[in-house]
Amino acid sequence: MSETDVHQDDDSAEGTNTPTWAWILVGACVLIPITAIGGLVPSLLGAGGAISVLKLARDDAYPPGKRLMLSFSMTVFVWCLFVGFSWAMHEVVSSPDKQVNVHEKNLDDEGVRQEIFKTATRSLFAMDETRERIAELRREGKDTSFFRKRLARQEERTAGDREFAAKFHRVSLVEVEQIVAEGLAEDWPAE
């Protein structure tokens, strides 16, 4: 083995020594997916940050102080991205009220009233059909118990639909009843 071969081996080994402080910063990056309890984006941020920190820490093109500063900056940057991502996901997931407001802003006043009417009367027309069937069976002298039970379930469902319409559109039940009466009088489409 010649002397030039030895120097080539030394050159290839350069940059593989990892400073102790780098492992602390790698650990900080690895904490991202652990903190998030998994997930693709946090895992990519953590892995990308850890790999970048190791690469910067081993880069002999920069003096040790600059490598430390760049590695620390990368760790802070990745954590800022993670915090921003977490905040954005929290806003999307935990704000159904905001989604309702967006929905209602896209409708004019009359459109909102018709949406309330549709929601509040989903079961109403089925109840009318069931009542007609009960009357028909009574005229024929047949048992109506099955249809009476169905009617009771439909009445419960209608009450639930009206409560849902009131909560979803932030109006009182009295207002929902007024809108239903108005819609029935004006023959608004139910579905």
Condensed to tens digits (0 to 9), the pLDDT of residues 89-98 reads 877 766 555 5
Contacts of 152 (CB under 8 A, 6+ apart): none
Average pLDDT over residues 133-138: 90
Domain boundaries, the chain: 3-93, 96-186
In contact, 19 and 30? CB cutoff 8 Å: no
Cα–Cα dist 154/160, whole Å: 10
CA distances from 91 to 18, 94, 189 (A): 39, 6, 35
Q: Which residues contact residue 26 at a Cβ distance below 8 angstroms, ignoring those fewer than 6 apart?
A: 50, 53, 54
Looking at residue 11, what is its pLDDT? 37
pTM of the predicted model as reported, rounded to 2 decimal places: 0.45
pLDDT of residue 173: 77
The first and second tokens of residue 117, run together, are 């009417």
Q: Where are the alpha helices (DSSP H) in 59-172?
A: 64-93, 96-105, 109-120, 124-140, 145-169
Nearest to 80 by CA among 38, 50, 49, 52: 49
Classify residue 94 by its DSSP letter: T
Lowest pLDDT segment from 10-19, 40-49, 62-71, 141-150: 10-19
Report whether 116 contacts 103 (CB < 8 A).
no
Please tell me the distance from the alpha carbon of residue 108 to that of residue 110, in angstroms, as a whole number: 6
pLDDT at 70: 92
The mean pLDDT value for 30-58 works out to 90
pLDDT at 62 over 50: yes
Greatest pairwise CA separation for the chain in angstroms: 113
